[in-house]
Amino acid sequence: MVKKETQTIEALLDANNFDFSTVKVLDESGKIVNEALMPELSDEELVDFMEKMVFYREWNERMFALSRQGRLGFVAPTAGQEASQLGTVLATTSDDVLFPGYRDLPQLMEHGLPRHKAFLWSKGHVDGSTYPEDFRAYPPQIIIGAQYVQAAGAALGIKKNGRKAIAMTWTGDGGSSQGDFYEGINYAGAYKAPAVFVIQNNGWAISTPRESQTAAPTLAQKAVAAGIPGIQVDGMDILAVYAVTKAAREFAIEGNGPVLIETLCYRYGAHSLSGDDPKRYQPEGAQEHWRGLDPLNRFRIFLTEKGLWTEEREEEVVAQAKEEAKQAIQDAEAAPKQKVSDFLKNMFEEADQITQEQIEQYEAKENK
Amino acid sequence: MAQMTMIQAITDALDIELNKDDRTLIFGEDVGKNGGVFRATEGLQDKHGEDRVFNTPLAESGIGGLAIGLSMEGFRPIMEIQFFGFLFEVMDSIAGQMSRTRFRMGGSRNMPITVRSPFGGGVATPEMHADSLEGLIAQSPGVKVVIPSNPYDAKGLLISSIRDNDPVVFLEHMKLYRSFREEVPEGEYTIPLGEANVVKEGTDVSIIAYGAMVREAIAAAETLEKEGINAEIIDLRTVYPLDIDTLIKTTEKTGRVVVVQEAQRQAGVGEKVISEISQRAVLSLKAPIQFVAAPNTVYPFGMAEKEWLPNANDIVEAVKEATVF
């Protein structure tokens, strides 16, 4: 149920707003349902949003294919979450510090991570998470929730440095059950630190449904206990996600403290390509239901009706994604073999005696 | 030179480093106005401001996460864990996260974090406050673990820890905080991490200890002296990394070794010391290595501490085992 009276950005960013109805801008038939929240975007920017969603939908397909060929390592599917992932990250700038979860490679790539590094991370190569000094991001987090407390720390640092930026982090509905989730939003709230916390509620923590995570009717309302605004948004609607995130970023930058955003979305695929099969645990009809809400589909209709999108353009973007994935996997596969001696050298700034002995042992082995 | 307790030496080191580098921050539970539950940060908030010395909400994992995030923004965090028995609440931030950042990111990032925490038994704290968990943390690659045994070392080692670009867990034995004073130079000086201290030269046996057990070793050596046994005392000062050279040198010199730790006998730092000596200098040994440690129980209730904790008498007995062999 959309309660119109709270559907303004000001109301949504009020920590005392206890109406957690879902914010929507564009419905599944491609119609604008809330003009007041429609973000100001040029035609070029609108097209760019679509291109990016199409790109990452295809990128997801490429990851599947490469995974089946045994050319990738850990792969967490992203199809279904394009509006959630891109709508949030496209509201950030390169000054912002990102703390992604393991499914959030698209956000890192939009932040500037070279595509082959995303593949290297998947394959388990250290070059995949070796970042230049001015790249403001942390590698994808595996321990669900840890990124929340770290983002609170970075946000406090940003505030102390007087930078006009935010720390942004993502976890899932499962992650919102973690203690670190609460510690993170509570810390940032207590320090009025500029963080934007995103819960991508895709309905499932591997096989555990959202309903089993918590008795709370929404995850956005978890913000109430931290005294910060919590907003639930239609995570299949890139315009709504973008509008809310952009407003949250500005709110945080102005010194008002953090914001928690829950995006309602869905992962079409398994939790990861390392084993689980959604058919075992998801009810029949779930896929069809969510396909009917697809973020690409509704935005495609919207743009096509505005005369901004064509099938040809979509095919071009798909072809481009295929080409870039092909190049990226080649680049990833050309990465030098990893050396244990390098790992040992990277444990400390200066190696201690036993580590130094091990470096020498491994170098001798490696040079044989 | 001034006479200082260990806690005063620690406060002095913190003050010096806050003065030296304005990227240095101190935070933790009650470290602000209250100056910490042991007063280690007393007066520092008044002097350096609430922006640099501040309280955190009561959540240890949050304190660790804060340190990691602040490091990414170019700060040098000194975080306090109120009692090291609360390590479990912050284990992921320390052992799972800050410890692996340099490794994970191919050497492209520093984590210049100092984790300060009181630990150790003998002062009748409630449960979960006194445990010696240094072995647990020393087993985590990517973290250095420093344990001073006296005011002079505490100051020099803490300054080194704060200046180190890697995470250092700096453990302060509660019993040593105020139990004695010694001369501590004013101003800054450093003691390198990873270097053991020869507390007392000796010829007959090497007693290798750290933390509060160094005091017990000194007391034991005095007793032994009267019985004609001249003990050498080595204070590890850093339990990871270990100073292998000093361990081997003393073993080769005396041929008899007694390793002492306050922690339970199972696994841990003492085992590591024994293992390195066994692998590297077994032929220098004239007797089996003796190991003085606490029994393998949970840390006991306050009234049983005296029975439970290793002490000078235990060390004397162990030395005799090693010397009559």
Which amino acid is it at B24?
Answer: T
B107/chain A closest Cα distance in angstroms: 5
CB A183 to CB B61 under 8 A?
yes
Whole-number CA gyration radius for chain A: 21
Fold of B197-324: Rossmann fold (3.40.50)
Nearest Cβ partner for A346 among B61, B68, B106: B106
CB B65 to CB A184 under 8 A?
yes
Give the count of Cβ contacts less than 8 A between chain A and B. Answer: 142
Phi, then psi, of B240 in degrees rounded to 5:
-145, 125
Spell out which residues of chain B touch residue A197, defining contact as CB-CB under 8 Å: none
Q: State the burial class of residue B51 (Cβ atoms within 10 Å of its Cβ: 0-12, 13-18, 19+).
A: exposed
Burial A229-259 (b: 16+ CB within 10 A, else e): bbbbbbbbbbbbbbbbbbbbbebbbeebbbb
**pTM (predicted TM-score):** 0.96
Average pLDDT over residues B71-94: 97
CB B59 to CB A157 under 8 A?
no
Spell out which residues of chain B touch residue A346, defining contact as CB-CB under 8 Å: 102-103, 106-107
Disruptive mutation site among B25, B66, B240 for chain A (greatest number of A CBs within 10 Å): B66
Nearest Cβ partner for A190 among B57, B71, B97: B57
Nearest chain A residue to B58 by CA: give it.
A183
Record the tokens describing residue B93, joined without a space: 């931030």
Spell out which residues of chain B touch residue A349, defining contact as CB-CB under 8 Å: 102, 110, 164-166
Residue A178's closest CA among A230, A224, A234, A222?
A222
Query: What pLDDT does A3 receive?
Result: 52
Give the list of residues 6+ apart from residue A289 with CB closer than 8 angstroms, or none.
none
For B13-49, the pLDDT digits (tens) are: 999 999 999 999 999 999 999 999 999 999 999 999 9
DSSP character at residue A92: -
CB B70 to CB A355 under 8 A?
no
B231/chain A closest Cα distance in angstroms: 26
Disruptive mutation site among A352, A357, A358, A361 for chain B (greatest number of B CBs within 10 Å): A352
In a 13 Å sphere around the CA of B298, the CA atoms on its Cβ side amount to 7
Nearest chain A residue to B110 by CA: give it.
A349
A141/chain B closest Cα distance in angstroms: 9
Neighbouring CB atoms inside 10 A of B304's CB total 11
Query: What pLDDT does A312 receive?
Result: 98
Phi, then psi, of A324 in degrees rounded to 5:
-65, -35
Distance of CA A202 to the CA centre of its chain: 12
CB A187 to CB B70 under 8 A?
no
Query: What pLDDT does B179 receive?
Result: 95
Nearest chain B residue to A161 by CA: give it.
B73
Nearest chain B residue to A95 by CA: give it.
B73
Residue A21's closest CA among A33, A31, A7, A9?
A7
Spell out which residues of chain A touch residue B48, defining contact as CB-CB under 8 Å: none
Measured CA distances, A229 to A2, A23, A125, A220, B78 (Å): 18, 14, 39, 8, 31
Mean pLDDT (10-residue bins), chain A, 368 residues: 68 94 97 96 98 98 97 96 98 98 98 98 98 97 96 98 98 97 98 98 95 97 98 98 98 98 95 88 92 97 98 98 98 97 97 96 95
CB B102 to CB A352 under 8 A?
no
CB A146 to CB B62 under 8 A?
no
For B221-239, the pLDDT digits (tens) are: 999 999 999 999 999 999 9
- Outline where DSSP puts E strands in B218-308: 231-235, 238-240, 257-264, 290-294
- Assigned CATH for B2-184: 3.40.50.970
Q: Quote the CA–CA distance of A367 and A158 in Å, as a whole number.
A: 45
CA triple B89-B95-B98, angle to 5 deg: 105
**Identical fold at B2-184 and B197-324?**
yes
Told to judge if B48 belongs to the known catalytic residues of this protein, a careful annotator would answer no
Domain boundaries, given as residue ranges, for chain B: 2-184, 197-324
Residues above pLDDT 70, as percent of chain B: 100
Instruction: Catalogue the active-site residues of A.
Output: 267, 271, 281
DSSP character at residue B126: P
For A165-213, the pLDDT digits (tens) are: 999 999 999 999 999 999 999 999 999 999 999 999 999 999 999 999 9
Taking each continuous run of H as one helix and of E as one strand, the counts in chain B are 12, 14
| H-helix segments, chain A | 9-12, 43-68, 82-89, 105-111, 115-123, 146-161, 179-190, 210-213, 223-226, 238-251, 278-281, 286-291, 295-305, 311-333, 340-345, 353-366
CB B59 to CB A129 under 8 A?
no
Query: What pLDDT does A275 receive?
Result: 80
The residue with tokens 């300060």 is: B116
CB A157 to CB B75 under 8 A?
yes
Q: Which domains are delineated in chain A?
A: 4-337 (3.40.50.970), 338-368 (no CATH)
Spell out which residues of chain A touch residue B88, defining contact as CB-CB under 8 Å: none
Query: What pLDDT does A1 receive?
Result: 46
Beta partners for residue B117, in sequence order: B171
Q: Quote the CA–CA distance of B270 and B262 in Å, as a whole number.
A: 9
Strand duo B2-4 + B182-184: pairing: antiparallel
Per-residue pLDDT at B249 exceeds 80? yes
Enclosing H/E stretch for B287: none
Catalytic residue (choose from B48, B116, B129, B256): B129
Residue B311's closest CA among B256, B261, B241?
B261
Nearest chain B residue to A99 by CA: give it.
B69
Nearest chain B residue to A162 by CA: give it.
B73
CB B73 to CB A154 under 8 A?
yes
Query: What pLDDT does B78 receive?
Result: 98
